[in-house]
Chain A
């Protein structure tokens, strides 16, 4: 399977601070998806990025796909307690590639 690293593994932020998680691949990706899993819940699809340099926004969340299509990031502006959870990336390389989720970044919000 492809090599992908998601960093950081954990992140504690004060409520209102920004948060960013990164997904880095050693090889070029065809597309990448992002998911959020609340504590005790199941992963929920957030977005898919396909194009080189693509930027998409969902309210306070900004998703980017690198120009080389090897890296992606999820940025949350002014975190809220509802943002608590684990954020996973799901990179796709080619049709025969094994589908492997990143290890995830667990976000804790300090009140």
Chain B
């Protein structure tokens, strides 16, 4: 298995632009998580899905952030409009059941908003 695949690896965008981050979880995993990592705040859970259904989105910073999981093999995290404070590394992770097994993380997307 190729693991969790995220794209793009790096994204530099101007403030106000829309940004879309993509994730392909491991086949067969039924839970998917979006995390944001910064030096100041560490690893923050933004949202997680179970069987493609959003379970907890309380970590989504504000209405500028939205996430979708149209099917078991694909998820997107969208920021519109982007702001400099959104600059961070965004990780996608997947797992079986969400608790009993460890999470497998993707390589992340490093987002820089200028």
Question: A: which residues have CB within 8 A of B?
Answer: 31, 33, 35, 41-48, 88, 90, 92, 95, 98-101, 103-104
A residues near B18, Cβ cutoff 8 Å: none
Question: B: which residues have CB within 8 A of A?
Answer: 33, 35, 42-43, 45, 48, 56, 58-59, 91, 93, 98-108
A residues near B103, Cβ cutoff 8 Å: 33, 35, 43, 45, 90
A residues near B100, Cβ cutoff 8 Å: 48
Do A98 and B104 have beta carbons less than 8 Å apart?
A: no
Do B58 and A98 have beta carbons less than 8 Å apart?
A: yes
* Bound Cα distance from A68 to B104, whole angstroms: 28
Do A100 and B108 have beta carbons less than 8 Å apart?
A: no
* Bound Cα distance from A44 to B48, whole angstroms: 18
Output the least CB separation between B1 and chain A (Å): 14
Asked, given contacts A92-B99, A98-B56, whether A42 binds B105 with beta carbons under 8 Å apart, the answer is yes
Output the least CB separation between B107 and chain A (Å): 5
